[in-house]
Amino acid sequence: MLKQIFISICLFITSIAVADPGVGLVIDKSGNVFYSDLSQVWMMKPDGSKVVAVPNVHSHELYLDRNGQLFGEHLWYNGEKANTWGYYLWCRKPDGTIVKVKDSTEGFPEWYSFTRDDLGYMYYVEKGIPSYFWQVDSTGKEKTIIGTKSLSDIGRLHFSSKGVLYFPNKTDVYILQKADSVQLFIKDIGEKNPNDSTGGNSHSIMSIYSDNDGNLYIATGNVIKQVDKKKAVLTIYKSAGDWKPSACLIAPNGDFFVMEYNSTNEVRVNKISMAQRKQIAREHSFSVYFMPFILAAVLIIVVYFLFRKKK
């Protein structure tokens, strides 16, 4: 009986992890990439080697401040009998020291967010009909409503370096700019989630990332889509086999990192160097801009000779 209960709990937790993999992926000033596999937080060094940065933590999101401090949560399930969750919040200092910033608490983190701006303000959504979007100071005491919208399936928030808040709702992406209302940014950018039997397409869009040029990167299905300022959409990455992307980032030197997960809860981070990105861009430009001209020229030549032959 105890064995069956243990197996049930493990299956339950596994199903949660598969449905909601980690999206924590950040890079520090030294080029170290931190990411979560829901069991620990790893640090990938610039040479590609990996070490465990924060052991034994179930963290979905990460935040790295300007001082190199890494923040995350540890979330756990208290079993079917209690049927409750618990968490604590942690911080990893630049020297590797790990401290709790909030002690163990029942439930899920409230009025606390890993979506922050350069000044440390947090951006938090109070879900409901309507949902309220808040700016919260680092202490959690000063709260300001910055927008409201009646949406039923809001995903994780992203705050860009341009001061714009983006978030997904089902397969759409919305935008909230300063002194403006919540607006639809782009519709049906997310891939339909075949595993969502409710029809709500929860986690259709796993995460959103933006670069300094104003481009958005959408991790959805088994691809990453880039949306430029003119809302032109381009698929720039496709995971192989059973893998799916959950997050991405661009390093200051232009290297592109993609975090992926699979159905057995494995997690990996792939790096595409700036040199590789330039080569891919050249190949793409050739196929998009030059190949049509070449094909058109070949077609004209063929038609010309066919016409001459008939004469």
- Please provide the distance, in angstroms rounded to a whole number, between the alpha carbons at the two ends of the chain: 89
- Cα 29-113-115 angle, rounded to 5 deg: 45
Asked if 216 and 227 count as a contact pair (C-beta separation under 8 A), the reply is yes
List residues bridging with 148 in a β-sheet. 132
Task: Provide the CB-side half-sphere exposure for 110 (13 A, CA).
Answer: 8
Structure-token pair, residue 130: 């309507």
- Whole-number pLDDT of residue 66: 93
Strands 158-159 and 165-169: antiparallel
CATH of the domain at 61: 2.120.10.30
19 phi, psi to nearest 5 deg: -70, -30
- Whole-number pLDDT of residue 10: 42
Burial 189-225 (b: 16+ CB within 10 A, else e): bbbebeeeeeeebbbbbbbbbbbeeebbbbbbbbebb
257 contacts: CB under 8 Å, gap ≥ 6: 25, 27, 33, 248, 249, 250, 251, 269, 270, 271, 272
Neighbours of 76 (CB within 10 A): 14
Q: Residue 59 sits in which domain range?
A: 2-310
Say whether 13 sits in a helix, a strand or coil.
helix
Asked if 211 and 257 count as a contact pair (C-beta separation under 8 A), the reply is no
Residue 293, amino acid? F
Number of domains present in the structure of the chain: 1
Helix, strand, coil shares of the chain as percentages rounded to 5?
Answer: 20, 40, 45
Give the pLDDT of the chain (311 residues) as one tens digit per residue.
444 433 333 433 444 444 578 999 999 999 999 999 999 999 999 999 999 999 999 999 999 999 999 999 999 999 888 899 999 999 999 999 999 999 999 999 989 999 999 889 999 999 999 999 999 998 888 999 999 999 989 999 999 999 999 999 999 999 999 878 999 999 999 997 655 555 556 679 999 999 999 999 999 999 999 999 899 999 999 999 999 999 999 999 999 999 999 999 899 999 998 777 666 555 555 454 555 666 777 777 767 667 766 65
